[in-house]
A and B are shown apart, each in its own frame.
Chain A
């Protein structure tokens, strides 16, 4: 697209405000979508945006948290950085959850916050907050612009840092006086970051070691994480796995990095993963981790994790290697580069037919199962119904909890970048705004916000945006009148003392939707759901579907906290 052309059409003057310079920088970075909320300290920036209206699609959320989660959804499915603007003080602190979420799940964001003018910083001025102090531990890097001439360089650095290496959020705090005052045009600037040189090419010796290990392995398994998706390496992964007949399991965030319906796929591993995937990780003699970070929800008790295996770990972030699991073959690299290198390395043909047969037997013997209710909607059945109706092609966003796990288990992702969920931080209220961002990034695709009744009520104010921006997001509330996962744990580990986890008082979601000028449906039985489902997806606009499901259903199989991957419960009816 004509970023250059756009920049070219702006009148060239020698003096501009800091805000103009910022806007110019954004145009040059190729930004066309902004998620934000105005306020006192960003008035100069919003004024500059007003003048550059044609260059941006600004998404005015109804709460800053909605803006940043939307930016995360946008970044996840588009691969481009999500850009967020918020004002000082409360505007900035409202972003904290989203910034942390993006940090945990390695999503590229560039966040601009207003700050009070330089001469009053540190005086507890109106709407002042120590945004640098607050966000230092939750950003990949952050800046406070101290002098106007630094602004263009900082913006360039921010985009560079957010989108390279292990991606992540970068925050730029801009004092109001810098945004407001005039200065000489000084966009053209270069930067040097001697302390930031991510390694993207694998060491050939290490690749050789891994190739030898694969050739020797009798029980190899690939674990694919989000790093495969961030590195756009899905097709390389598939080619590699198929060539050497390597079974593949994915993490929660790695869903879609390998086709879930492929013969070599074992499904998701971890706390609510499949029996086959978890036993493969437990029994394997070679574990090749590509872009996963051995999170505790994946590994279970580390004492039992991959205890018979040689562990190889490919990651772009060296600090993830050896952090939780001792690693014999560390490879610091971009996932695609490493897979491409490895593809041609192995000479011998694989000799692990027995292993594949064993895993196939596990898949047959211990598939995911649930008891399908006769009349009422089982939550798992709801996910399957969505899968059927969307032919498995929709972009699905979720919050955290039971509905997230059921979506991960039963919506078999065959393609990359269709799955947007809050993994590391586990943020309720993430799914719906993330769907808005995803829909903006992919206007022609079906986007389903599959949310719980608890999480949806945390950020439902963003319903305004569906009408405002004409976004046909399908919000499907898996409504069990409870904080399902909390309730499940209270049932399992706290003798059914349902302390503050039940939500019997529910809003009328149909009326709520209608008040936002959106079509609303409510269903309580399978019959009703089957009737409504085609209409939900055939309709060209946004829909809110309140689907009542069995209230006391639990997510299985499960690895209880403190247990190893081989100690799953609920693997058989």
Chain B
């Protein structure tokens, strides 16, 4: 199953290596990872999308991450009310004839063209993973020359619905 995990970490040298090394050593598959600073200096936030076989393995992964001294907090936010976005840059083969056609395709995705050359253009799209993937599929027939994605970054919405079935990973459940 695909889970979205966020980790608040001390922004120290080597912390990314600690976390990815741990996931690698314990055989967890990282689909994407994004890291950046937060509102607090010296604190960074990581968002991973991981593929885990079951809840037992998921619990183990969260506990192992938590054991890292530089990791302050780990949450599985998959089943919570969240905002999650990734950004993709897609360089598509195009000439002046089909530029308008592409413009028509990307418009409903609220994507934008951010670079144009004689034989290509670059589309920037942000959104949830499935939206980004849908657009990539639509653009694929035109010939994608280059594709770069940031991986998902996410956090909780300001308001959480009260009744939800949020699995509790506390060992005191």
Instruction: Say how far A56's CB is from chain B's closest CB, in angstroms.
Output: 28
The segment from A241-249, A315-323, A346-354 found at the interface with B is: A315-323
Instruction: Say how far A483's CB is from chain B's closest CB, in angstroms.
Output: 28
Decide if A319 touches B69 in the complex (CB within 8 Å).
no
| Bound CA–CA A296/B67 (angstroms) | 22
With beta carbons under 8 angstroms apart, the residue of A132, A203, A318 that contacts B14 is A132
> B60 at the A/B interface (Cβ < 8 Å)?
yes
With beta carbons under 8 angstroms apart, the residue of B25, B67, B71 that contacts A137 is B25
With beta carbons under 8 angstroms apart, the residue of B60, B63, B69, B171 that contacts A196 is B69
A-side residues, CB < 8 A to B, are 132-133, 136-137, 140-141, 144, 146, 161, 193-196, 203, 205-206, 317-319, 321-323, 326, 330, 332
Can you list 12 A-B contacts with CB-CB less than 8 angstroms, sorted by A residue number? Answer: A132-B14, A144-B13, A146-B13, A193-B69, A195-B10, A195-B69, A195-B72, A318-B171, A319-B60, A319-B63, A319-B66, A321-B171
Q: Which residues of A contact B60 (CB under 8 A)?
A: 319, 322-323
Q: Which residues of B contact A194 (CB under 8 A)?
A: 72
Number of interface residues of B (CB under 8 A): 23
User: Contacts A136-B21, A137-B22, A206-B172 given; 14 further ones with Cβ under 8 A?
Assistant: A133-B17, A140-B69, A195-B70, A195-B71, A318-B66, A318-B171, A319-B60, A319-B64, A319-B66, A319-B67, A322-B56, A322-B59, A322-B171, A326-B56
User: Given A146-B13, A195-B10, A196-B69: A330 and B172 within 8 A (CB)?
Assistant: yes
Instruction: Say how far B151's CB is from chain A's closest CB, in angstroms.
Output: 22
Decide if B69 touches A141 in the complex (CB within 8 Å).
yes
Q: Which residues of B contact A317 (CB under 8 A)?
A: 67
User: Given A136-B21, A137-B21, A322-B60: A161 and B172 within 8 A (CB)?
Assistant: no
| Bound CA–CA A140/B22 (angstroms) | 12
Q: Please provide the 8 A-B residue pairs with the shortest distance between their CB atoms, ordered closest to farther.
A: A319-B63, A330-B171, A141-B69, A195-B72, A196-B69, A318-B171, A195-B69, A137-B25
When C-beta atoms are compared, the residue in chain A nearest to B43 turns out to be A194
Instruction: Say how far B132's CB is from chain A's closest CB, in angstroms.
Output: 33
Decide if B171 touches A195 in the complex (CB within 8 Å).
no
Total number of residue pairs linking A and B with CB closer than 8 Å: 48
B-side residues, CB < 8 A to A, are 9-10, 13-14, 17-18, 21-22, 25, 56, 59-60, 63-64, 66-72, 171-172
Instruction: Say how far B33's CB is from chain A's closest CB, in angstroms.
Output: 17
When C-beta atoms are compared, the residue in chain B nearest to A133 turns out to be B17
| Bound CA–CA A317/B9 (angstroms) | 20
Q: Which residues of A contact B22 (CB under 8 A)?
A: 137
Instruction: Say how far A495's CB is from chain B's closest CB, in angstroms.
Output: 33
When C-beta atoms are compared, the residue in chain A nearest to B17 turns out to be A136
When C-beta atoms are compared, the residue in chain B nearest to A319 turns out to be B63
Instruction: Say how far A24's CB is from chain B's closest CB, in angstroms.
Output: 24
Q: Which residues of B contact A137 (CB under 8 A)?
A: 21-22, 25
Q: Which residues of B contact A161 (CB under 8 A)?
A: 69
| Bound CA–CA A144/B69 (angstroms) | 15
Q: Which residues of A contact B171 (CB under 8 A)?
A: 318, 321-322, 330, 332
| Bound CA–CA A36/B59 (angstroms) | 40
Q: Which residues of A contact B9 (CB under 8 A)?
A: 195
User: Given A322-B60, A323-B60: A203 and B172 within 8 A (CB)?
Assistant: yes
Instruction: Say how far A251's CB is from chain B's closest CB, in angstroms.
Output: 20
| Bound CA–CA A193/B68 (angstroms) | 11
Decide if B63 touches A318 in the complex (CB within 8 Å).
yes
Instruction: Say how far A110's CB is from chain B's closest CB, in angstroms.
Output: 14
When C-beta atoms are compared, the residue in chain A nearest to B9 turns out to be A195
Instruction: Say how far A323's CB is from chain B's closest CB, in angstroms.
Output: 6
Q: Which residues of A contact B10 (CB under 8 A)?
A: 195
| Bound CA–CA A532/B62 (angstroms) | 56
Instruction: Say how far A218's CB is from chain B's closest CB, in angstroms.
Output: 27
| Bound CA–CA A317/B171 (angstroms) | 11
| Bound CA–CA A144/B13 (angstroms) | 9
Instruction: Say how far A473's CB is from chain B's closest CB, in angstroms.
Output: 36
Instruction: Say how far A170's CB is from chain B's closest CB, in angstroms.
Output: 9
Q: Which residues of A contact B68 (CB under 8 A)?
A: 195
Decide if B18 touches A136 in the complex (CB within 8 Å).
yes
Residue picked from A144, A196, A318, A321, most chain B C-beta under 10 Å: A318
Instruction: Say how far A124's CB is from chain B's closest CB, in angstroms.
Output: 19
Q: Which residues of B contact A323 (CB under 8 A)?
A: 60
Q: Which residues of A contact B56 (CB under 8 A)?
A: 322, 326
Q: Which residues of B contact A319 (CB under 8 A)?
A: 60, 63-64, 66-67
| Bound CA–CA A318/B10 (angstroms) | 21
When C-beta atoms are compared, the residue in chain B nearest to A196 turns out to be B69
Q: Which residues of B contact A205 (CB under 8 A)?
A: 172
Q: Which residues of B contact A141 (CB under 8 A)?
A: 69
| Bound CA–CA A319/B69 (angstroms) | 14
| Bound CA–CA A146/B14 (angstroms) | 12
| Bound CA–CA A144/B12 (angstroms) | 11
Instruction: Say how far A99's CB is from chain B's closest CB, in angstroms.
Output: 15
User: Given A193-B69, A203-B172: A136 and B64 within 8 A (CB)?
Assistant: no
| Bound CA–CA A194/B14 (angstroms) | 18
Q: Which residues of B contact A144 (CB under 8 A)?
A: 13-14
Q: Which residues of B contact A140 (CB under 8 A)?
A: 69
Q: Which residues of A contact B64 (CB under 8 A)?
A: 319
Residue picked from A205, A206, A319, A326, most chain B C-beta under 10 Å: A319
When C-beta atoms are compared, the residue in chain A nearest to B63 turns out to be A319
| Bound CA–CA A132/B22 (angstroms) | 14
When C-beta atoms are compared, the residue in chain B nearest to A205 turns out to be B172
Instruction: Say how far A149's CB is from chain B's closest CB, in angstroms.
Output: 16
